[in-house]
Structure 1
Amino acid sequence: MKLRHFSYLGIAGIICLLCSESVQAQEKENLVQINLNSENIVSQAETKAKVPVTQIPQIRDIQRPHTTAKDLLAQQQNQVILVTGVNLNTSENSFEVILETSNPKQLQAVAKSEGNNFIVDIPNAQLKLNTGELFRQEKPIAGITDVVVTNQDANTIRIMVTGETGLPKVELYESDKGLIFVATPVTTSTQQPQTPDKPPANTTEQGEEPPIELVVTGTIFEVPIEDTPQSIQVVPREVLENRGVVRLDEFTDNVSGVQRITGGDGFGTSGFIIRGFSDQFENLRNGFRSQGGFPRDLANIDRVEVLKGPAAALYGGGFQSGVVNILTKKPLEEPSYEVKATVGSFDFYRGEVDLTGPLVENQSLLYRLNVAYQDQGSFRDFLNYKNFFIAPSLTWNIGPRTTLSFDYEYVDADYSDDQIFPAEPEFLQISPKTYLGEPDLASERFTAHSLVLGFSHEFSDNWQYRLGFNTLWQDVFDEGVIESGGLQADRRTLNREFQRRTNDLENLTLRNEILGKFNTGSVKHNLLFGVEYSRLEYAYKFSGAPIAPIDIFNPIYGARPTEALSLSFNEAYGNDTLGIYLQDIAEVLPSLKIVAGVRFDNVDGFYEDRETNTSFNEVSDSQFSPRLGIVYQPSDTTTLYASWSNSFTPQVFGRNSSGEPFEPVTSEQLEVGIRQELFDKKLLAGLALYQITRENVATTDPNSDDFFDRIQTGEQRSRGVELDINGEILPGWNIIATYAYTDAQVTEDNLIPVGDRLPNAPYNSASLWTTYEIQSGNLQGLGAGLGIVYVGERQGGLPNTVTVPSYVRTDAALFYRRRQFEARLNFKNLFDIDYYDANDFSSINPQEPFTVIGSFSYKF
């Protein structure tokens, strides 16, 4: 069965590869040059309404150049033209940059792009301003983070426009005063980046190029956020850096309704609780499933997307309340080299290197290399962590419509096992620094490899084929883990067990997709069809022995196992999944869109004892996961939406009291929301109301005396309201504000009291992060940030055994950035409060006290 699945997918891939080769034979590479001497130029003085001289092609429309800007200058042999002034004028939705010169018609321009940066080089001009050789304006309008005009070299002016969430749209005009660049921001969307060298789109009957929609994020389907009937938040790398984030899970402070699943101090985890429900440690990395719960380095992370609500319609089983998608950095066309050093409290030391650029002269082969090393102590007694990370990636633009990519990651972490506290009230009374293991016994080693291969070919402007392959394998060896048991009758002596554990995980995915745009009458369709095969295998081996208990209020260390180790578990579980999915966004009217999708999954799961070589639980489930939504946009600043979606999670573990395999746990969500742009589109506010009901939750069989006999009669429900606001209040003053009300509780169960709250799901949580950066003058680039995080009372486990107290944490930042370098100081937990996080396996975890993090980076 497994081989047959691979065969079908492989045949489909080979057919598309052959088709792409035939098309590639007809492709030619051309330099994108904007010649302002063209006879087609319409002067601004000749018409009242601005007519584009020519639209600079966006990244996917740029033909791959054979020469550099310097080569072009040598070929043209034009006189160097002086630009004596730079003016910037803003309007509601766009802005224009005017390069003042007496010879505008002799200027030539070469367009390129890297990430969210649209770059125009003028290789026969030089900037001569009274204020120097640099013009810079940050946040000229909402959606644009930076505009820079500077001398690239002795003969070249460079104009760089940086979009906040996507590549800006740029057009050129000519006037009597000079050359005018008009820039418009493009809204972030949820599509994978398009091939950066697609030929120009077909022109309209009037001869003008139609506007080209650009989408920039890494999830599976091609749709702008404003056309999505669900709540979506994006945390860009700039926010992570401004906040001094050193652990991936810290991004949750800037997203409403999301809490992290804590697994101890140090590198943190990548497991999350979304809208009150936990999907354990599974999330997405570049759109592919990735097991969390283990160290994840920040060096190559570009941004984090949070898509709320059941996600099985696109991603298959799991993700019952939402999904976190981590997007990594990609190779750039322009060479860039950056080094960064970070030091901080508790012996924190970290170094990073980020290198990128072309490997060949025509820029068809690009590379990126991220390397990081980290060595840190901890505010917890006896804990230390070391981590090495390397991530090379390549992008090969085989032709104007064909791209092949390669991404690899390697993590090697060596750290002390961190003993989180059991969810009992007594553990809130001891010092947060207390360590409950044995310092000289606890040692863990984690290694992980991740490989992603991607192939994309565009048959035409409207049809595209994508092939993706992802594999992840990771190993964990725990040399000596002290597992906490329950407290004895004196409520201060903690029972413990010594364990030695190994964990091995392998996960692979092969995905084939066809994307197409077409019309049926007046209705426009955006279609996705995909076939995906995935395999997960997780093997673990535990051995244990008794060890002396410890006094949690007065710990004394030095205990050793009192018996020889005995095998506890040598087991493995996993599944093979074949999924087929179809989704369409139908534009019935320009202001009305309907989203409909469905996925069918066939899951074959196994659970085996490798010590006896027996399989004691095999399940086979088939499930449809539908999704339906509607989007109404009464104006270009307002979006209303409503959606209904389902998800499921196969149950590999256990059987019911009758010996039958469990049915999948299912969830259903209803959501309505509004997205509103405010203050001339400088602020974006999103408000969502939802209800998620999870059914078929396994609970104790009331007709059996055996606690482990289970039946699926449990139900859990989450209702809530979420508010997210982000944008610019004034030039240089940015804000991210969130609020969430989450009512997540047990609604049916045979053991857990109905009404018990789900772990680590506070009724109320809110956050504010704001920064201000001086925009001009001698102190330009100097800025400060202030953050406040509030989390209400939570429960530490199910059944509810301990209430984790609420807290208000304050953070602050100072930074200075000028041209190539940036220096930053971050102050976390400014008032040194004691606070705790919880998780869904009945434990609580103390968080860091007052901490200072300093960093310095330089680009060259």
Structure 2
Amino acid sequence: MRISIILFCEVLLLGLMGYATAKSQPQTVVSGYITTTDEIPVEQMSVKVKGTSIGNKTDQRGFYELVLRRGGQYTIQVSGVGIMPQEKVILVSEGVSQSVNFVVSLTNQQLDEVLVSANKARYKVDTLSSSLRLDIPLLEIPQNIQVVTAKAMEDQQIISMSDGLVRNVSGALKLEHWDELYARINMRGSRASAFRNGMNVTSQWGPLDEDMSMVENIEFVKGPAGFMMSNGEPSGIYNVVTKKPTGQTKGEANITMGSFDLYRATLDLDGKLASSGKLLYRFNVMGQRKNSFRNNQFNHRYSISPAIRYLIDDQTVLTAEYNYQHARMANVGSSYTFAQDGYGSLPRDFTWSVPQLEPTVIKDHSLFLHVEHQFNDDWKLTTQAAYFNYDQVGSSFWINAYDIGGGQRSAIDDEGNIIRNVSIWDAVNESTFGQAYLNGTAYTGLVRHRIMGGIDLGTKDYAADWSQGHALDTVGGFFNIYAPHYTLPANGLPNFDRSIAIRERATVSTLTQSYVGVYVQDELGFWEDRIRLTLAGRYTYVRQSRYGTAMDGNRFTPRVGISVSIDERTAVYGLFDQTFVPQTGLLRGEDLPKPITGNNIEFGAKRNWNDGKWSSGLSVYRILKNNQLVTDRDTSGGNSNFIYSLQLGRTRTQGVEVDLKGEIVEGFNIILNYAYTDAQVSKNPYPDQVGNVVPGYATHVGNGWLSYRMQRGPLKGVGLSGGFSYQKDRKTWGWDTENEKNLPDYFRLDGGVSWQNKRVILAANVFNILNEYLYSGSPYSDFYYWQSEPPRNFRVSLGYRF
């Protein structure tokens, strides 16, 4: 491995020296600007080379760029709803660039229609957000990356990260529920790191679920994401992209009502603060009251998300954004159910919650500052900074073990008696991030170089107080799971001491991290850019502490990928990547854990169909992950609160993923995906552990969502949609305990009907149509726990665009 890294570095260094010293060759590029008659840039205008698949859309400056493979005569066509297509015939000499500008006569309303049409693609996109660093079409990236669009989330009436979002991505699963406190999403055998606008915001219990009112789309990157510069799990990441100003004057108001006393309203305003179009704004606000199918549970929230964008000049854009989320919810953990005789043995709506408990209140702030400077058509510098501040005051539920006679202790006796325990859970989480990265294109002879490099800095500081607990019940005054009573508990309610600051109370339960990541990548294009070789490397330094133990580490990790275009619409690829994630925790014997290291090998194929309206992808991968930590569930030796971890030698995760999405025929959109996953311990200091499965995945996962909207006739605007989620051979969240039981297969069916025109959107969706008892869970000590999903339920919404 050391020799391969040295060779890799030499190749990368030679490549960088080559294009730095060689004479840069001119590109065969047609570029220009599209503006209105009053010189306002037109964003998202379609620009194509007539008779070919070469095309692009204008950016926020109205700028477009088309790369041609040879000289000759071409027709450049500009199109949009409400205007006649404009065409210009040009003669291109190979290697000689041209500038071709267009001026379109558009009223404000027509401009809005053009932008609405440009965003018509409901489920498929061709490019990623700039926060993923890669200025490369999705088709050409040698990795499985899936984007969940705002339109897909709208059709499925998804309102938060925990609300069925993962059905849109092959192999993605949401583990646990945590009452929508945060989303724990697993892919390829382990947790996917959470990013927001390119920042790694993952924490042990966070981030707070993003409300979809502030989200533009969500990007899922399968496998290591070294090009993000920040350290992360080898299974992948999901990147939440928040809404930004677009420059078009528009707005949308929406009211949603549904089962279990759901009342929700959102407002999205987008427009210009200056007639010149240089100062733009975006403002999103949401308010929600939401109860549960269980008594005594609720999750009331509101959020405010303003953003401004200032076009300083033709080359520099400044964007500032603030997001505030406020949650007032029932005790975290009150959605758990416990029993000795297996999963699902109590009614779906069972609760052990106490109505008199104080709610958990969360205040979540985030602030982003983003500056993008375009030196010229080839080179761009991006810098951004972010600050996150999270404050939680609340409590959580679990059950206490007690003496059941004969020297034995149990959490549940044979009659179903338990002692409920409420522990304080106050927490603060403060994080600061800074990034700078450069994207550019250069040539050495016939070789095209797409260059990306940058630096990523971050600090995270989480502190929690779990030190205070209160038993609600007593021996002789039990709570019985088979005959529950919800009067005032026998031992009364807790009265936690919050007289001193939380950081003084949380002297042990703190998690801190600071890191530096440096990344350099060169994608070399050969044979008229049909073969693309990616050579990259990342250096990571991390220092972190947890539960009073600290460690630091650093490592260089290489990345090598190749992507080959079979034709204009088809590409095949291969990828080798590594990851490095230092870990903190306590092992028995006071040993410190080793960092996670991982190797990923992936091969795949991608294709755009029907003029790019829908796409398909196939990927095959293997991830070797060293030193993974799991919870030590042996309660002996002072581990009653599970402060110790176990460290595995190596796990091997391998599988196949298939994704299909887009508009198959006019008005008919589809999302279909399937994943086969196999994750096992392949090497371990304890030989009897080899061959054990890794917790937290399902061997077979399949999802589908189909939507059809009438395009003409008396039923024009009427839409029908439906989808399913299927999981087979589910692995629990626990790690090989004596009372292990397999989770049953999972099947959920949803559907909806809607109607819309240019202004009004009316939709009604039904979830869990078959009214299945659905849940996820795990064995725990001498009992089982699980969290159930809602029974059949509905949502109706009315939206108005203006």
Q: Normalising by the residue count of structure 1, what TM-score does the alignment of the two structures yield?
A: 0.74
What residue in structure 1 maps to residue 389 of structure 2? 473
Deviations 1:781-828 (A, max 9, x none): 111101121111313221252322112211111010011111000011
Match runs of 1:533-682 below 5 Å:
533-542=457-466, 543-548=468-473, 549-557=478-486, 558-559=488-489, 561=491, 570-589=508-527, 590-607=529-546, 616-654=548-586, 657=589, 659-679=590-610, 681-682=612-613
* Gap change, CA 1:642 and 1:416, over 3 Å in 2: same
What residue in structure 1 maps to residue 707 of structure 2? 771
Cα RMSD for the two superposed structures:
3.7
What residue in structure 1 maps to residue 150 of structure 2? 237
Residues 394, 405 of structure 1: 8 Å contact kept: yes
**AA aligned opposite 2:169:** V
Residues 300, 327 of structure 2: 8 Å contact kept: yes
What residue in structure 2 maps to residue 848 of structure 1? 790
Q: CA deviation at 1:63?
A: 7.8
**Structure 2 residue matching 1:858: 3-state secondary structure:** strand
- Choose the corresponding residue for 1:286, options 184, 197, 200: 197
Q: CA deviation at 1:768?
A: 1.3
1:122 matches 2:97: no
Residues 63, 400 of structure 1: 8 Å contact kept: no
Residues 820, 859 of structure 1: 8 Å contact kept: yes
Residues 805, 835 of structure 1: 8 Å contact kept: no
**Equivalent-residue separation in structure 2 for 1:248 and 1:835 (angstroms):** 18
- Choose the corresponding residue for 2:356, options 440, 454, 468: 440
539-548 or 422-431, which deviates more: 422-431
**AA aligned opposite 1:602:** Y
**Equivalent-residue separation in structure 2 for 1:353 and 1:165 (angstroms):** 20
Residues 308, 323 of structure 1: 8 Å contact kept: yes
**Equivalent-residue separation in structure 1 for 2:742 and 2:679 (angstroms):** 15
Deviations 1:463-500 (A, max 9, x none): 22211101111011115645576643417333432211
**Equivalent-residue separation in structure 2 for 1:767 and 1:465 (angstroms):** 39
Deviations 1:181-205 (A, max 9, x none): xxxx99622351xxxxxxxxxxxxx
Residues 367, 394 of structure 1: 8 Å contact kept: yes
What residue in structure 2 maps to residue 793 of structure 1? 729
**Equivalent-residue separation in structure 2 for 1:640 and 1:31 (angstroms):** 34
- Choose the corresponding residue for 2:417, options 453, 472, 493: 493
What residue in structure 2 maps to residue 190 of structure 1? 128
Q: CA deviation at 1:276?
A: 1.8
**Equivalent-residue separation in structure 2 for 1:391 and 1:434 (angstroms):** 36
Deviations 1:403-460 (A, max 9, x none): 1110100011101123323596534210111112322225211110000001111222
Q: CA deviation at 1:315?
A: 3.4
**AA aligned opposite 2:471:** P
What residue in structure 2 maps to residue 22 of structure 1? none
1:221 matches 2:134: yes
**Equivalent-residue separation in structure 2 for 1:767 and 1:404 (angstroms):** 39
* Gap change, CA 1:551 and 1:99, over 3 Å in 2: closer
* Gap change, CA 1:63 and 1:323, over 3 Å in 2: closer
Residues 653, 679 of structure 2: 8 Å contact kept: yes
**Equivalent-residue separation in structure 2 for 1:772 and 1:596 (angstroms):** 43
- 5+ residue gaps in structure 1? 1-28, 36-48, 65-92, 106-118, 125-150, 168-184, 193-217, 609-615
**Equivalent-residue separation in structure 2 for 1:458 and 1:565 (angstroms):** 55
**Structure 2 residue matching 1:823: 3-state secondary structure:** strand
- Choose the corresponding residue for 1:275, options 188, 192, 205: 188
- Choose the corresponding residue for 1:519, options 439, 443, 457: 443
Deviations 1:668-702 (A, max 9, x none): 1111111123455443111111111211134799x
The structure whose RCO (Cα within 8 Å, separation 6+) is larger is: 2
What residue in structure 2 maps to residue 532 of structure 1? 456
Match runs of 1:742-781 below 5 Å:
742-749=677-684, 753-781=689-717
**Equivalent-residue separation in structure 2 for 1:531 and 1:559 (angstroms):** 55
What residue in structure 1 maps to residue 745 of structure 2? 806
Match runs of 1:310-321 below 5 Å:
310-321=224-235
Q: CA deviation at 1:163?
A: 3.7
* Gap change, CA 1:347 and 1:584, over 3 Å in 2: same
1:342 matches 2:253: no
- Choose the corresponding residue for 1:413, options 308, 322, 327: 327
Deviations 1:596-628 (A, max 9, x none): 2211111122346xxxxxxx4221211222211
526-535 or 754-763, which deviates more: 754-763
* Gap change, CA 1:51 and 1:844, over 3 Å in 2: closer
Q: Normalising by the residue count of structure 2, what TM-score does the alignment of the two structures yield?
A: 0.79
**Equivalent-residue separation in structure 1 for 2:385 and 2:778 (angstroms):** 32
* Gap change, CA 1:260 and 1:635, over 3 Å in 2: same
**Equivalent-residue separation in structure 1 for 2:124 and 2:523 (angstroms):** 20
1:454 matches 2:370: yes
**Structure 2 residue matching 1:239: 3-state secondary structure:** helix
* Gap change, CA 1:546 and 1:629, over 3 Å in 2: same
* Gap change, CA 1:768 and 1:460, over 3 Å in 2: same
Residues 769, 787 of structure 1: 8 Å contact kept: yes
**Equivalent-residue separation in structure 2 for 1:293 and 1:422 (angstroms):** 27
**AA aligned opposite 1:856:** L
**AA aligned opposite 1:546:** A
- 5+ residue gaps in structure 2? 1-31, 39-48, 65-75, 88-101, 402-409, 498-504
What residue in structure 2 maps to residue 131 of structure 1? none
* Gap change, CA 1:166 and 1:289, over 3 Å in 2: farther
**Equivalent-residue separation in structure 1 for 2:561 and 2:36 (angstroms):** 43
What residue in structure 1 maps to residue 755 of structure 2? 816
What residue in structure 1 maps to residue 654 of structure 2? 719
What residue in structure 2 maps to residue 134 of structure 1? none
Residues 578, 598 of structure 2: 8 Å contact kept: yes
**AA aligned opposite 2:513:** N
**Equivalent-residue separation in structure 2 for 1:762 and 1:737 (angstroms):** 17
**Equivalent-residue separation in structure 2 for 1:832 and 1:300 (angstroms):** 31
Residues 256, 739 of structure 1: 8 Å contact kept: yes
**AA aligned opposite 1:321:** S
**Structure 1 residue matching 2:454: 3-state secondary structure:** strand
Deviations 1:208-241 (A, max 9, x none): xxxxxxxxxx312222111111111111111111
**AA aligned opposite 2:386:** N
**Equivalent-residue separation in structure 1 for 2:648 and 2:617 (angstroms):** 35
Q: How many residues align?
A: 694
1:683 matches 2:614: yes
Residues 422, 484 of structure 1: 8 Å contact kept: no
**AA aligned opposite 2:594:** E
Q: CA deviation at 1:263?
A: 2.4
Of all paired residues, the percent bearing the same amino acid is 25
Residues 229, 455 of structure 2: 8 Å contact kept: no
